[in-house]
Amino acid sequence: MINSKRGTIEAMGERRVARVITAKVPLSEMFGFTTQLRSATEGRGVPNLEFSHYAVVPRNVQEDIIASRK
């Protein structure tokens, strides 16, 4: 699910009975993520989103954005 959103998994671990995945994903890809996560985990998954940094948009995504604005 993370990879399909142009994300990168940075760490995986456990906290008591929960599994924790730390990843970086572009904000533009996160819309609808909560619904997808809940569906995939039968309602048990809970996202915790936190801003990390700004980054340059990849060239192929830039082209898609520009094309959609014309």
Range of the domain at 34: 3-69
Domain count, the chain: 1
26, two tokens:
């572009």
Q: Are 24 and 52 within 8 A, CB to CB?
A: yes
d(CA 52, CA 11): 15
Residue 25: Cβ within 10 Å count: 19
Return the CATH number at 34. 3.30.70.240
pTM: 0.77
pLDDT in tens, the chain (70 residues): 898 899 999 999 999 988 999 999 999 999 999 999 999 999 999 999 999 999 999 999 999 999 999 8
C-alpha 11/C-alpha 22 separation (Å) is 5
